[in-house]
A and B are shown apart, each in its own frame.
Chain A
Amino acid sequence: MKIQTLLLLVGLLLPQLALADGPPEQKNFPQGVSTERLGDELWREVRQRDMQSSGISQVKGVDSGILINARGDQWARFRMDQLSTFGGIGIAAIFAIIVLFYVVRGRVPIEGGLSGNMVHRFTDYERVVHWTLAIVFLFLAITGLILLLGRPLLLPLFGKEVFSILASASKEGHNLFGPLFLVSLIMMLISFARRNLYERGDMTWLLKGGGLIGDGHASGGFFNMGEKTWYWMVILIGLVIAISGLILVSPNFGQGRLIMGLSHVVHTIGAIILIAVSIGHMYLGSIGSEGALEGMKTGYVDINWADAHHDRWGKVCHEENLIIPAEEYARLQGQKPGSTDEMATAEQGK
Chain B
Amino acid sequence: MARMKFYCDAERCIECNACVTACKNEHEIPWGVNRRRVVTIKDGEQGERSLSVACMHCSDAPCATVCPVDCFYTTGDGIVLHDKDICIGCGYCFYACPFGAPQFPEEAAFASRGKMDKCTFCAGGPEEDHSSDEYKKYGRNRLSEGKLPLCAEMCSTKALLSGDADVISDIYRKRVINRGSSAFNWGGNAKITG
Any A–B CB pair closer than 8 Å: yes
Residues of chain A whose beta carbon lies under 8 Å from any beta carbon of chain B: 28-43, 45-46, 55-59, 61-70, 72-73, 75-77, 79-80, 147-148, 150-151, 155, 160-161, 163-164, 167-168, 171, 175-176, 248-252, 257, 260-261, 264
At the interface, yes or no: B1 with Cβ under 8 Å from chain A?
Answer: no
Kindly list chain A residues whose C-beta atoms are within 8 Å of the C-beta of B86: 160-161, 164
Shortest CB distance B63–A (Å)? 8
Q: Is the interface of A mostly helix, strand, loop or mixed?
A: helix
Question: Judging by beta carbons under 8 Å apart, are A59 and B111 in contact?
Answer: no
Kindly list chain A residues whose C-beta atoms are within 8 Å of the C-beta of B43: 55-56
User: Which residue of B15, B46, B90, B187 is within 8 Å of A147 (Cβ)?
Assistant: B90
For the A-B complex with A39-B187, A43-B186, A249-B110 known, give 10 more contacts whose Cβ atoms are closer than 8 Å: A31-B194, A38-B46, A42-B186, A55-B42, A59-B20, A61-B100, A67-B53, A72-B97, A150-B69, A164-B85
Contact sample, A vs B, 29 pairs, CB 8 Å cutoff: A29-B194, A32-B193, A32-B194, A34-B193, A38-B188, A38-B189, A42-B41, A42-B47, A42-B187, A45-B41, A55-B43, A58-B37, A58-B38, A61-B103, A64-B39, A64-B100, A67-B41, A67-B51, A69-B98, A70-B98, A76-B62, A147-B90, A151-B69, A164-B85, A171-B90, A175-B111, A249-B109, A257-B95, A260-B91
Rounded to whole angstroms, the CA-CA distance of A168 and B38 in the bound complex is: 33
At the interface, yes or no: B154 with Cβ under 8 Å from chain A?
Answer: no
Residues of chain B whose beta carbon lies under 8 Å from any beta carbon of chain A: 10, 15, 17, 20, 32, 34, 37-43, 46-47, 49, 51, 53, 62-63, 65-71, 83, 85-92, 94-100, 103, 107-111, 113, 181, 184-194
A39-B188 in contact given A76-B66, A160-B70 (Cβ < 8 Å): yes
Kindly list chain A residues whose C-beta atoms are within 8 Å of the C-beta of B41: 42, 45-46, 55, 67
Question: Judging by beta carbons under 8 Å apart, are B88 and A167 in contact?
Answer: yes
Kindly list chain B residues whose C-beta atoms are within 8 Å of the C-beta of A56: 39-40, 43
Question: Judging by beta carbons under 8 Å apart, are B191 and A38 in contact?
Answer: yes
Kindly list chain A residues whose C-beta atoms are within 8 Å of the C-beta of B42: 41-42, 45, 55
A264-B194 in contact given A59-B37, A251-B113, A252-B107 (Cβ < 8 Å): no
Kindly list chain A residues whose C-beta atoms are within 8 Å of the C-beta of B15: 58
A57-B65 in contact given A160-B70, A252-B109 (Cβ < 8 Å): no
Question: Judging by beta carbons under 8 Å apart, are B34 and A75 in contact?
Answer: no
Kindly list chain B residues whose C-beta atoms are within 8 Å of the C-beta of A161: 85-86
User: Which residue of A37, A45, A67, A260 is within 8 Å of B95 (Cβ)?
Assistant: A260
Kindly list chain A residues whose C-beta atoms are within 8 Å of the C-beta of B53: 67
Kindly list chain B residues whose C-beta atoms are within 8 Å of the C-beta of A28: 194
